[in-house]
């Protein structure tokens, strides 16, 4: 459903069906809604069978990269004599994204169930749910739900009477965007500064505490119980365009739009209908100008691109962007793109862990130049400088935070160059000038 709004008839509410229903938060309420049947079923299957079902379903990671979940799980080799770990990435920090927040706030047991199934499937006895520090309410809800699950014997040394140990611990972050990067998340969990690690070794070889580890996003794991109960074919059939994108996806919508909120649609849904019908279109008297469709790290789309996009992994790439985390940021014609790109650059400069030179320096220089242009003090040469810095920030660092800072700048310069130029020729921000007039 489009919490905080009523569900739209064209939504496919599977993960979001119970958003807004306080009873669904409790263990009893969750069981009444069919909860923990999937875990019971999973514990009667072999881990390899579970991995195969998830592989067949076509489920891909919902955190941003879209890596096939079943394949990721299959990297965890059974019988290697080592402890395995599952980390749940609940560090949702990508500007524009607030779907995991609602999954945890409203359906905490969905995440616990998916996590327990995932842990069993990869041979892990312990799973950590790493929640960003600012998510105080989701944290309290999750902690309470984990307690309930332990009291009912669903977790612990003999999970659901299966003889298997499944422990789930909730771990609170402390304010660092970079900890959503999987290797930084593991460092943070180990009690270190959240600096990303060089890969390889990949987490499945040497992850948390140096042991084989899988990191999955909240939304990915919350989908797993539904796949086990309804079957891989059912999930795979939910696809409106590319067969490589299956199931439903929660999109968070924010910015200058009539009904911001979370909406769950089948992969491949037309973005135009989504923006103008489901989300209510622009505010009265306004027109949409640009969209960042997958969280702030993906390229900005012009409306021409956005309106011809089908909402799945391949569809967004075909129209100049990426699905990313599904955080849709909408800007209308009252907004200055230069100002927003400068603000996003400042975000990345603030959040850079600073271990790579290209990122530490590049994010800071980009911010300085963008803010200079926004203030009306830029020159036309600044464009080349920005692109050169952007080039030096892309593909050259330990993680992709650096690339993510370059993305809005490069795509913004390409698609909204006239706004940049207007700041330089007019020696002031045309939007501020219009507002002051």
Binding stretches for other proteins (CB under 8 A):
4, 83, 92-98, 101, 132-137, 167, 169, 171-177, 188-194, 209, 252-256, 260-262, 296, 327, 329, 331, 335, 339-340, 343-344, 347, 350-351, 353
Q: How far is the CB of 436 from other proteins (least distance, A)?
A: 15
b or e along 272-305 (b: 16 or more beta carbons within 10 Å of the residue's beta carbon)?
Answer: eebbbebbbbbeeeeebbbbbbbbbbbbbbbbeb
* DSSP code string of 271-292: HHHIIIIIT--SPTT--EEEEE
Query: Please, are residues 50 and 74 in contact by the beta-carbon 8 Å criterion?
Result: no
* DSSP code string of 345-358: HHHHHHH----SHH
107 vs 246 by CB, closer to other proteins:
107
188 vs 397 by CB, closer to other proteins:
188
339 vs 423 by CB, closer to other proteins:
339
Element (H, E) at 87: strand 84-90
262 vs 394 by CB, closer to other proteins:
262
194 vs 268 by CB, closer to other proteins:
194
Q: How far is the CB of 269 from other proteins (least distance, A)?
A: 18
Q: How far is the CB of 191 from other proteins (least distance, A)?
A: 3
- Class of residue 207 by CB neighbours under 10 A (exposed 0-12, middle 13-18, buried 19+): buried
Q: How far is the CB of 133 from other proteins (least distance, A)?
A: 5
Q: How far is the CB of 247 from other proteins (least distance, A)?
A: 22
Q: How far is the CB of 208 from other proteins (least distance, A)?
A: 9
Query: Please, are residues 69 and 221 in contact by the beta-carbon 8 Å criterion?
Result: no
235 vs 271 by CB, closer to other proteins:
271
The 8-class DSSP code of residue 16 comes to S
Pairing of strands 248-255, 288-292: unpaired
């Amino acid at each position: 459903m489009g919490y905080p709004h009523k569900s739209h008839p064209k939504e496919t509410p599977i993960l979001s069906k119970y958003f807004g229903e306080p009873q669904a938060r409790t263990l009893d309420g969750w069981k009444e809604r069919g909860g923990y049947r999937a875990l019971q079923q999973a514990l009667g299957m072999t881990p390899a069978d579970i991995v195969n079902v998830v592989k067949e379903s076509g489920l891909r990671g919902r955190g941003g990269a879209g890596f096939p979940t079943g394949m990721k799980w299959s990297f965890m080799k059974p019988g290697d004599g080592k402890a395995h770990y599952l980390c749940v990435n609940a560090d949702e920090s990508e500007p524009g994204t607030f779907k995991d927040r609602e999954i945890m706030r409203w359906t905490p047991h969905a995440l616990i169930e998916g996590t327990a199934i995932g842990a069993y499937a990869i041979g892990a006895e312990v799973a950590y749910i790493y929640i960003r520090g600012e998510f105080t309410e989701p944290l309290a809800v999750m902690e309470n739900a984990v307690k309930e699950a332990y009291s009912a014997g669903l977790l612990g040394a003999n999970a659901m009477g299966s003889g298997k140990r499944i422990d789930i611990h909730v771990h609170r972050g402390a304010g660092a965007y970079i900890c959503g990067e999987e290797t930084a998340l593991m460092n943070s969990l180990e009690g270190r500064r959240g600096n990303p690690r060089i890969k390889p070794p990949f987490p499945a070889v040497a992850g948390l505490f140096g042991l084989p580890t899988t990191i999955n996003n909240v939304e990915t794991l919350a989908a797993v119980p539904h796949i086990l109960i309804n079957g891989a074919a059912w999930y795979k059939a939910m696809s409106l365009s590319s067969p490589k994108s299956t199931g439903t996806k929660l999109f968070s919508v924010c910015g200058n739009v009539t009904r911001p909120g979370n909406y769950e649609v089948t992969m491949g849904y037309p973005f135009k209908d989504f923006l103008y019908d489901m989300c209510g279109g622009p505010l009265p008297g306004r027109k949409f100008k640009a969209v960042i469709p997958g969280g702030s790290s993906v390229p900005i789309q012009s409306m021409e691109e956005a309106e011809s996009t089908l909402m799945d992994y391949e569809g967004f790439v075909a129209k100049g962007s990426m699905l990313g985390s599904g955080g849709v940021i909408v800007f209308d014609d009252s907004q200055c793109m230069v100002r927003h790109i400068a603000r996003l650059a400042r975000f990345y400069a603030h959040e850079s862990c600073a271990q790579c030179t290209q990122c530490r320096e590049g994010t800071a220089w980009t911010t300085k130049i963008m803010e200079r242009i926004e203030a009306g003090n830029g020159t036309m040469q600044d464009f080349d400088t920005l692109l050169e810095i952007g080039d030096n920030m892309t593909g050259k660092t330990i993680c992709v935070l650096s690339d993510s800072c370059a993305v809005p700048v490069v795509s913004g310069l390409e698609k909204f160059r006239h706004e940049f130029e207007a700041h330089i020729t007019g020696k002031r921000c045309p939007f501020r000038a219009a507002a002051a007039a």
